[in-house]
Chains A and B, each alone.
Chain A
Amino acid sequence: MLHLIPDKKKPEPTALAWPDLYLKLAEQAQHPLLKTFYQAGCVAPDTPLNQVPFVAMDFETTGLNPQKNGIVSIGLVPFTLERIRCRLSQHWVLDPGKPLNAESVVIHGITHSDIDEAPDLEKILPKLLEALAGRVVVVHHRGIEQPFLSAALKARIGEGVMFPVVDTLELEARLHRGRAVGWWQRLLGKKPVSIRLADSRTRYNLPYYAPHHALTDALASAELLQAQIADRFEPQAQIKTIWH
């Protein structure tokens, strides 16, 4: 899968192919929901950032391995550079289909009793894919949401899903870790800049939000992307410069 071949230095060659890829995937997809999702299309790589419809997405999971762990909650916050619109946001607590382990419960605070009544991902899939369709997904650390979603779909409907993502963590690394910390600075005790969500937000004077709630984290990433773009990019910059 494309996202598993990260090419940190040159994301463009893969990214360029997204709209065409969507056309092809729309033909190949078996499941009608996936077909509809791809048919909604993907913005052109040269679309200016201020015209891109984004959707920030965050998952809380039972662990870090998409093959072994499941999704316990999903938060979605659609936005544009102009406005984040809370009334369109969505949040689901899900039955992960995998055991909840104590460590993850401590992190996301979703317990057995919370998921007792929770639906399976398949049940909310129409709404989820509808919310993602036609939008560019924004995540903080792209190792989680897309792989987990793809794996969960494969387990349920026999096929995965792929889509371009903007990774605010990667952007932050690009913007603030442009140069590696040299030996001289290491000697001086300089540490690399933290690019965790909360720390990154502080750099842009964004307020502190309590982490590990999928909806709050999605909102936090949406605000962070607005800030990063306001700080370092022209609103006319093309989406291909930041997506994967």
Chain B
Amino acid sequence: MEVEQVEIFEYLRRFVPFKSLPEDVLSALSRQVEIAYFKAGSQILEVGDTVTDIYFVRSGAVEIYRRNGELYNRMSEGGLFAYQSLLIKQKVRFPVKAIEDTLIYFLPESVFRELFDQHEEFADFFEVGDQTRLRQAVSRREDTNELLTSKISTLITREPVVMPNTASVQEAAQRMTEEGVSSLLIIQVEANDPAADESTFIGPKASVSGADGSEHTVCGIITDRDLRTRVVSQGLPFDTQVLEIMSQGLVMINSDEYVFEAMLTMLRTNVHHLPILKKGRPIGVVALSDLVRYESRNSLFVVSSIFRQQTVEELAALQTDVQSSFVRMVNEDANSHMIGSAMAVIGRSFKQRLLELAEETFGPPPIPYCFLALGSMARDEQLIVTDQDNAMILDDSFDPELHDGYFKQLAQFVCDGLAACGYSYCTGDVMATNQQWRQPKKVWEQYFTDWIDSPTAESLLNSNIFFDLDGVWGHTEWADQLQGLISRRARRSQRFLACMARNALNRTPPLGFFKTFVMEQDGQHKKSINLKRRGTAPLADLIRVHALAVGSRATNSFDRLNDVIDAGILPPDRGPDLRDAMEFISTVRIRHQALDIEAEQEPDNNIEPENMSHFERRNLKEAFQILSDAQKFLKFRYQPNRAN
């Protein structure tokens, strides 16, 4: 006869993975438990022991060591261990010691195997490497809001309807009626249309193949509205050519962008029809009305209001709107990539509007220039707590005597304005107000070449900041050109990569959490952890090194990671693991900032273990482990004398 130990039953049911078990199964399990007491300091498992149970810490705490004596893990109440050895039927590899007086509940192997075979959620917990569990955690979250994570391509219902620029507006209207579409893409069939060449494309150029196999550039778009406002109301004849009334300077986006980014693009550019490109070819047109149902109250209209403000004071007043849109996105379970992009777009819009205002105040620039965003904003990983990193590329005709007075004023205006809008001054003085970072293009090229060819401690730090760059205003193609220089040059310099790799190891993740403390790798306790400094920043650093090594021109860490995975330089599965780790740490960071804002506290990057859920602790710990392993791999791969 077996009887239920109520206390054991009640205790187990409070913990994952037992809480997922049906009550009768858990009750049966609690009858099978065995118990032993270990005084502080006594050895619970030694290397080479045979394990016949899994171990559950009922009270007290234990430490698990690697064979080299390095601390591997520390567990308190509710912690499970020794199941790895049991699952793979191996002798104990990591010794375990009680560091407090400890009571252990043992779950015998036979019982465990039965549960493992019959209860999937229970098995999931143990099965698999920790990394896979992290992926499950990430994907379960994403499932909760698929709308916000949909790619724009999912909204395309049909191929775009295309007409030559020589067609008449009447032909265009007839075609639109036949096809039941509200827009037409116009292709160039006559080369004598200079306007098409001057179009400033936001996306890459698009072209379509004609029936005869010739290539035609997409040079414009016309919509229902254009027919109304530009043809009928103007009294133009029906044989007017579409090229006379079409909108040029097409705004297009790539099919792998998020729905949400399409929406931002429409807001920023005030267009209602967005051609979607795949490999340079339009595969559909998405209208604003298609997006309306995805809009979900997103106060990303913040972006459009940024462009309506007339003074710095008015812009600064938008800060609370920015915060509330951040909180709303978090509450709608947007993923970190989307939130990062949205915050970056908002940041970029502030800069753009400030530059517009500056140019109104100080007059047009004497020579062309490009304003750069650097660091997390360039990577689209900007969150709510951020300082400004920016710089300016000036035309090579720059003459300090003649021009610098203007640009200095301009930089000062923008940086002060950004500070007023909540983007605090960069403590490292990486701002366009610093003359060192307000230089002609040729000087920038020299900077970057020097940094890559002869790295120093200081230039490596600079590389970490400046190699994540994004042109936000003016001649943004210069930013792309600099990016090209970096990607061509860095991958060839083994020494530079080795130095960058070493630099990326400066910040290590903690081991995990223990009760109300953060556990450092040396066993020290801290009260809180800075998730940026110890999590997302070292991850971004590490991904940057790999990205430079494979010549990726992406700036976003997730995009870089995709390039790195495609290049095949990581061991199998490491890439997806890194992506999950990045996503999870960012998510926790974002969530806690949103909680701070909701509690009307100043948000920061610090997180205290006592404010973390069991779920967060567990998965964060695994994410740190992935980062730690990835750092070891980085060290191994980019040795100064190794040929890759």
Residues of chain A with a CB closer than 8 A to B7's CB: 207, 209-210, 216, 219
B36 touching A84, Cβ below 8 Å: yes
Q: 1/0 per position for A72-114, CB-CB distance to B under 8 A? A: 0000000100111111011100000000000000000000000
Known: A86-B8, A207-B59, A223-B103. A230 touches B37 (CB 8 A): yes
Given contacts A86-B34, A205-B100, 16 further A-B contacts (CB under 8 A): A86-B31, A87-B34, A205-B101, A206-B37, A206-B59, A207-B58, A210-B6, A215-B5, A216-B5, A216-B7, A219-B5, A219-B7, A219-B35, A223-B103, A227-B101, A230-B38
Residues of chain A with a CB closer than 8 A to B2's CB: 87, 89
Q: In chain B, residues 28-71, which have Cβ atoms closer than 8 Å to a Cβ of chain A?
A: 30-39, 42, 58-60
**A117 in the interface, Cβ–Cβ < 8 Å?**
no
B42 touching A84, Cβ below 8 Å: no
Interface residue count on the B side (C-beta < 8 Å): 27
Q: A220's closest neighbor in chain B, by CB?
A: B7
A86, A90, A210: the one contacting B35 at CB < 8 Å is A86
A230 touching B42, Cβ below 8 Å: yes
Binding site for B on A (CB under 8 A): 79, 82-87, 89-91, 204-207, 209-210, 213, 215-216, 219, 222-223, 226-227, 230-231
A86 touching B37, Cβ below 8 Å: no
**B106 in the interface, Cβ–Cβ < 8 Å?**
yes
B103 touching A90, Cβ below 8 Å: no
A205 touching B34, Cβ below 8 Å: no
User: Whole-angstrom distance between the alpha carbons of A48 and B527 in the complex?
Assistant: 46
User: Whole-angstrom distance between the alpha carbons of A85 and B31 in the complex?
Assistant: 9
Binding site for A on B (CB under 8 A): 1-3, 5-8, 11, 30-39, 42, 58-60, 100-103, 106
Can you spell out 20 A-B residue pairs with CB atoms less than 8 angstroms apart? A82-B36, A84-B35, A86-B5, A86-B8, A86-B33, A91-B3, A205-B60, A205-B100, A205-B101, A205-B102, A205-B103, A206-B103, A207-B58, A207-B59, A213-B6, A215-B3, A216-B5, A227-B39, A227-B101, A230-B42
B35 touching A230, Cβ below 8 Å: no
User: Whole-angstrom distance between the alpha carbons of A216 and B30 in the complex?
Assistant: 13
User: Whole-angstrom distance between the alpha carbons of A216 and B8 in the complex?
Assistant: 9
The B interface is mostly helix, strand or loop, or mixed, namely mixed
User: Whole-angstrom distance between the alpha carbons of A129 and B207 in the complex?
Assistant: 93
Known: A205-B100, A213-B6, A219-B5. A84 touches B34 (CB 8 A): yes
B30 touching A86, Cβ below 8 Å: yes
Residues of chain A with a CB closer than 8 A to B34's CB: 83-87
Q: B101's closest neighbor in chain A, by CB?
A: A205
Residue of A205, A206, A219 with highest tally of chain B CB at under 10 A: A205
User: Whole-angstrom distance between the alpha carbons of A45 and B60 in the complex?
Assistant: 33
Residues of chain B with a CB closer than 8 A to A207's CB: 7, 11, 58-59, 103
User: Whole-angstrom distance between the alpha carbons of A206 and B33 in the complex?
Assistant: 16
B32 touching A86, Cβ below 8 Å: yes
A83, A205, A219: the one contacting B36 at CB < 8 Å is A83
Residues of chain A with a CB closer than 8 A to B42's CB: 230
User: Whole-angstrom distance between the alpha carbons of A101 and B139 in the complex?
Assistant: 59
User: Whole-angstrom distance between the alpha carbons of A219 and B105 in the complex?
Assistant: 12
Residues of chain A with a CB closer than 8 A to B39's CB: 227, 230-231
User: Whole-angstrom distance between the alpha carbons of A83 and B58 in the complex?
Assistant: 14
